[in-house]
Amino acid sequence: MPGQGDAGVEARGITRRFGPVEALSGLDITVPYGQVTALVGANGAGKTTLLLILATLLAPDTGTVRIAGHDALARPAEARDSLGWMPDTFGVYDQLTVDEYLTFFADAYGLPNDERARRVKALLSLVHLEDRIGRPVHALSRGQKQRLGMARALVHRPRVLLLDEPASGLDPRSRVELRDLLRSLAADGVAVLVSSHILSELEEIADRVVLVDHGRTVGDHAMAELAGASSRVRWRIRSLDPERLAAALAGALDGLPWLEATDLPGGAEVGPLTEAEAAGLLAELVKAGVPVTGLAPAGSALESAYLAMTETRR
Ligand SMILES: Nc1ncnc2c1ncn2[C@@H]1O[C@H](COP(=O)(O)OP(=O)(O)OP(=O)(O)O)[C@@H](O)[C@H]1O
């Protein structure tokens, strides 16, 4: 899909205050076309504030924002034509039916009359809500509303898609479908930016991750690069004799003072340890006669990168 500008989103030096709170303090972000970029950070890090600014719904105090090549601050209407926005909470219009709701937005985006009905039907089928046609929006469940919100964001075939916690109300099947949908949009050339706290899920969706902390970008990594990083992670140990494992780990804790161990059914979780440290611990356990049946990283590479970032910033 031909895009304007080098990337879907290019924002530089964004600052935004709310009274005494500096929500964003010089944040930079680039969201390339054809990729899913994950926006990750602790509660209050500034993710929603950033997404609202990129969606042209909130003005920054300083900085520049380009959406599909358009200056979003000087020409917000042009930027809006190029972007789809899915907020974390669903808006109003509860009295409309599901199809009236989408038709309203198709109309607002200036879709030609003869295309509107077809587009609405195709979108409802895309988010598996065809059987809700004619039903009021207020009768939808939270997850169904999320899916309708996704359809709304796609009405005008945007080249840039911004999603704030899109998976939060979804059941497991809908999450898988959301993942597939975002991957296929990226494959079509759309620049997708998605914020979420569900790191394991993002790892399967995203090509890149931008880590935000206290209103600043503190990391920008390709997911493949993170997977190869040898950072300390937590490890899950399975044992035929969990009690002996717990006793042996209690001994090991003296030699590895930073190590924390948590009992799990049938084993324990320990960490943070590098791969080499985990192998060393395993050798100690085997030497102590503990029947170990499994040793595997407990979290994802993204989770490790995130924990490493927040560990140093506490
Ligand atoms: N309208 C507002 N008025 C005052 N303070 C605000 C407002 N919006 C955000 N803030 C503050 O700005 C900071 C960043 O908030 P933001 O909602 O962007 O964080 P977030 O990363 O999206 O958090 P979460 O993961 O909890 O959704 C927080 O300290 C928040 O309290």
Q: Can you read off the two tokens belonging to residue 76?
A: 């917000």
Query: Could you give the CA distance from residue 254 to residue 299 in angstroms, rounded to a whole number?
Result: 24
Query: Could you give the CA distance from residue 216 to residue 200 in angstroms, rounded to a whole number?
Result: 23
Q: Can you read off the two tokens belonging to residue 30?
A: 């680039």
pLDDT score recorded for residue 202: 84
Residue from 86, 190, 177, 87 nearest 129 by CA: 177
Residue nearest to atom 30 of ligand 1 (CA): 44
Q: What angle do CA 86, 91, 97 make, to 5 degrees?
A: 105
Place of tokens 């929006």: 137
Q: How far is the CA of 293 from the centre of ligand 1 (A)?
A: 45
Residue nearest to atom 28 of ligand 1 (CA): 44
Higher local confidence (pLDDT), 313 or 36: 36
Residue nearest to atom 17 of ligand 1 (CA): 48
Q: Which amino acid makes up residue 77?
A: A
pLDDT score recorded for residue 228: 58
Place of tokens 């879907």: 8
Q: Which amino acid makes up residue 302?
A: L
Residue nearest to atom 27 of ligand 1 (CA): 43
Contact 262, 221 (CB under 8 A): no
Q: How far is the CA of 47 from the centre of ligand 1 (A)?
A: 8
pLDDT tens-digit map of 173-208: 888 888 999 999 999 999 999 998 888 778 888 999
Q: Is it the case that residue 89 has pLDDT exceeding 70?
A: yes
Q: Can you read off the two tokens belonging to residue 117?
A: 């009905």
State the pLDDT confidence band at 3, using cuts at 50, 70 and 90. very low
Q: How far is the CA of 129 from the centre of ligand 1 (A)?
A: 32
Q: Is 238 helix (H, G, I), strand (E, B) or coil?
A: strand
pLDDT tens-digit map of 31-53: 999 999 999 998 899 999 999 99
Ligand 1 pocket (Cβ < 6 Å) reads 18, 21, 23, 41, 43-49
User: How far is CA 89 from its chain centroid?
Assistant: 15
Counting residues of the chain whose pLDDT is more than 70, the rounded percentage is: 93
- Helices 242-255 and 275-287: crossing angle in degrees, nearest 10, is 120
Contact 282, 245 (CB under 8 A): no
Sign of CA dihedral 29, 34, 35, 39: positive
pLDDT score recorded for residue 69: 95
Ligand 1, from 17, 18, 89, 164: best to mutate by most atoms within 8 Å of Cβ?
A: 18
Q: Is it the case that residue 59 has pLDDT exceeding 70?
A: yes
Name 92's Cβ contacts closer than 8 Å, sequence gap at least 6: none
pTM of the model: 0.82
Residue from 102, 134, 101 nearest 119 by CA: 102
Q: Can you read off the two tokens belonging to residue 308?
A: 């490493």
Which range has the top average pLDDT, 62-71, 83-92, 288-297, 301-310? 62-71
Examine residue 136 and say whether the peptide bond preceding it is cis (omega within 30 degrees of 0): no
pLDDT score recorded for residue 114: 86
Sign of CA dihedral 84, 88, 90, 92: negative
Instruction: Kindly indicate whether the ipTM for this predicted assembly is greater than 0.85, answering yes or no.
Output: yes
Domains in the chain, CATH or no CATH each: 9-92+143-226 (3.40.50.300), 233-313 (3.30.70.870)
